[in-house]
Chains A and B, each alone.
Chain A
Amino acid sequence: MAPITCPSCGAELTFRTSFSVYAVCPYCGCTVVRRDRDVESIGTMADLPDEMTPLQVGTELTWGGERYTLAGRVRMAWSDGAWNEWFMVAGGEVAWLAEAQGFLTIATPVPITEARGYGPAALPGLDATISIQGKTYTVTDIKDATCVGSEGELPFAAPRGRKATYYDMLAADGGFASVEAGSEGRDLYIGSYVAFDDLGFVNLRSIERWTPPASAVEARDPVRPAAT
């Protein structure tokens, strides 16, 4: 993919995947939307406040036999908290790693027509049961959320203030599904809860005064690359 120059600071922006249409310049915070041959600036993104998360853009993990890289993040806030949605890519595969209150889920987009139990116009209510690809899910949580920040590259423009309603569903076997309903339509994701130690993380962000578990390879220090 041809390198693109940040219209604000001139830094080189590379898109890891053709799914991405939006990026936040890691140097100056300029937010850009990809057009045919170049990019258009749509604003700037302020730094997100400190978070005690070991995940960062560039972190790699193994899931479903594929080696994924975290390409970008949307931080969503609702009335009682916030969570991170990490956009992960592996060649032609994309998935979302959600990080909330120390729990991780990985989900992949599936056509909304796979969900039975509610019509094309209706949205599920709390405790509704929905059948997706033969598995029964129960709606356990409905949240109105607003984007409070984004970084890296994403398959949609995620400026601050972008709103969506999330319908979280659980299955008895630990399966997880979510419908995201926003101004651009409804998207269905299915996946499951995952354990940190099962993902073989590499290039985690280091955290002051904490040691990563043995399952994760020591974080590469982004300030002093391997060359020095």
Chain B
Amino acid sequence: MSDGSLAASGGVPPPAPAVPRTARPARPRSLVCPSCASPVTLRAAGSSVTAVCPSCGAVLDVANEDVRLIAAAAARTRQPLIAIGTRGTLVGTEWEVVGYQQRSAQGEQWEEYLLFNPYRGFRFLSLGDGVWTLYVMLREAVGGPGEVPGDPNRYRKVSETTARTDYVLGEFYWRVKVGDSVLLHEYVSPPYCLSEERSVDEVTWSRGVTLDDATVRKAFGLQPEAVAPPDAATRPSGLGRMWLTACAALVLLCVLAGIPFGRDRNRLVVAHTFSATSADQGAPPASEAFDVPGRGGNLTIEVTPSTPIDWLEADVALVSDDGNRRFDAPAPVRLFVGHTTLRYTFASVPGGRYKLLATIEWPVADTPHVAPPAALFHMPDLSQYGVGSEKAPEAPPPPPPKHTEIGVTVRRHTPSDALLGLAFLAILAWPVVATIGHALSRMGRGWDN
């Protein structure tokens, strides 16, 4: 006999409670880590599928009510630049950092923050090469970089790499795993970019827009620059000696870096000014021929526009005078707002006579297909970036000059900034790690709540 007969049979039903069971505010879900029994907060509960325990680093399957352990703690958790749980307002919408990934492709590493707002869904904020980009996943069927519905920008391909996930923290709405790889294609039309990620069973397209470093740091309450070393007076003597030694090594490094190549160091080989109008774009102008003496060495190309412009992109190549040898920069070198010179170094060029070819593109007033940065606030799809309607549109930048002079210089035996930088990092790594370790041991595990 079914329960349905209960009311009909005249039995007195229990009084109904006054409040429906669901009538209370929604809130993050709290779990207990099956590995270490610490509390885990699901900030995007309902969407999250994978979560990393902030205490022990165990990877959890949180798709269902019964939480399962996917991978036991592999390493102590690291603190990202923006801590999980931090809130910040970007282009008019408040976001909470719920996930963090370190990814790499061909030796280049970048970070990706997963942002969540319960009314607006998810966004990705990436930091690579010092550039912040805010991405939104596209839900339209995208045929290719030129076939994005409603997007008039012309994108050009800048890279095709295999991107690997190296480290994860927080929670994700997909099954994230360290070691996962996807084929990543990137296309740009500054300040916008498109990213196409292909895995075995899925293709996803995202559109990004670059954000100003100061804007992002202010939004999430970050220090404007790298944290200064702690005050010497508060440090124990062991750390103090370590910093002194490191500083001495840095001074020595700077002196040594100046010695090789004597007067040839950073010597100007050729300087050339291309006087160009918008009609010249795409035509590769060649410099006068120049000699690289002896056994050769590195050559650094610098491209400097005479007036500040929003962006500039150059394909540079060296061609030997006899046409037998050619060196191409592997990808177009790009210049964004805020930088004045674009630089590329050919690591090893044998002696001989060369010409420089440079195909240079920059924004032009009479071809409006390239949206200037301020156009972000006029795009029809601005809701995808969470732009609030209360945000006043920023004044458009002055139109770029139709006539632009672009200076190109070639220098030899330039000091390698990258190598010097690596040496700097190597020297500083240990005192920094020791200082942070010291600070953390004093704070306890204060940062994860």
Contacts and interface: CB of A to CB of B under 8 A. Distances in A.
Contacts of B121: 101-103
A39 interface: yes
Interface stretch (B23-31, B266-274, B431-439): B23-31
A57 B22 CA distance: 9
Contact of B46 (A52, A57, A103, A223): A52
Given A30-B3, A41-B2, A102-B47, A82 B63 contact: yes
12 contacts: A5-B7, A9-B13, A41-B3, A41-B4, A41-B6, A49-B45, A50-B46, A81-B174, A140-B141, A170-B140, A172-B140, A196-B120
Contacts of A27: 16-17, 20-21
Nearest to A8: B3
B118 A52 contact: yes
A184 interface: no
A56 B13 CA distance: 27
B34 to A, nearest CB: 16
Contact of B26 (A38, A50, A214, A222): A50
B392 to A, nearest CB: 15
A173 B63 contact: no
Interface stretch (B301-309, B356-364, B382-390): B382-390
Interface string A12-28: 10000000000000111
Interface stretch (A64-72, A108-116, A203-211): A203-211
A27 B8 CA distance: 19
A210 B118 contact: yes
A208 B26 CA distance: 6
Given A102-B122, A148-B64, A207-B25, 7 more contacts: A7-B13, A10-B7, A27-B21, A51-B45, A81-B49, A81-B174, A172-B147
Nearest to B16: A11
A52 B3 contact: no
A151 interface: yes
A93 interface: no
B149 interface: yes
Contacts of A51: 26, 29, 45-46
Contacts of A5: 7, 13
Interface string A41-81: 11000010111111011000000000000000000010011
Given A6-B13, A9-B14, A9-B16, A54 B22 contact: no
Contacts of A211: 94
Contacts of A81: 47, 49, 63, 173-174
Q: By CB atoms of chain A within 10 A, which of B5, B26, B390 has the most? A: B26
A101 to B, nearest CB: 5
B187 interface: no
Given A50-B29, A53-B26, A223-B19, A173 B140 contact: yes
Interface residues of A, number: 65
B117 interface: yes
Nearest to B27: A208
B40 to A, nearest CB: 13
Q: By CB atoms of chain B within 10 A, which of A6, A27, A52 has the most? A: A52
Interface string A185-228: 00000000101110000000111111111101000001100000
Given A8-B13, A10-B15, A38-B8, A80 B21 contact: no
Q: By CB atoms of chain A within 10 A, which of B16, B119, B120 has the most? A: B119
Contacts of A29: 21
A50 B27 contact: yes
Given A101-B173, A173-B149, A213-B120, A7 B7 contact: yes
Contacts of B25: 205-208
A52 B47 contact: yes
Interface in B359-393: 383, 388-390
Nearest to B142: A172
A90 interface: no
B26 A170 contact: no
B120 to A, nearest CB: 6
Contacts of A206: 25-26
Nearest to A213: B119
B22 A151 contact: yes
Interface string A82-106: 1010000000000000001111000
Interface in A147-193: 148, 151, 170-174, 176, 193
Contacts of A214: 388-390
Contact of B6 (A7, A195, A212): A7
Contact of B383 (A32, A47, A197): A197
Nearest to B63: A81
Nearest to B47: A101
B17 A223 contact: no
Contacts of B23: 222-223
A47 B65 CA distance: 11
A30 B388 CA distance: 42
A42 to B, nearest CB: 8
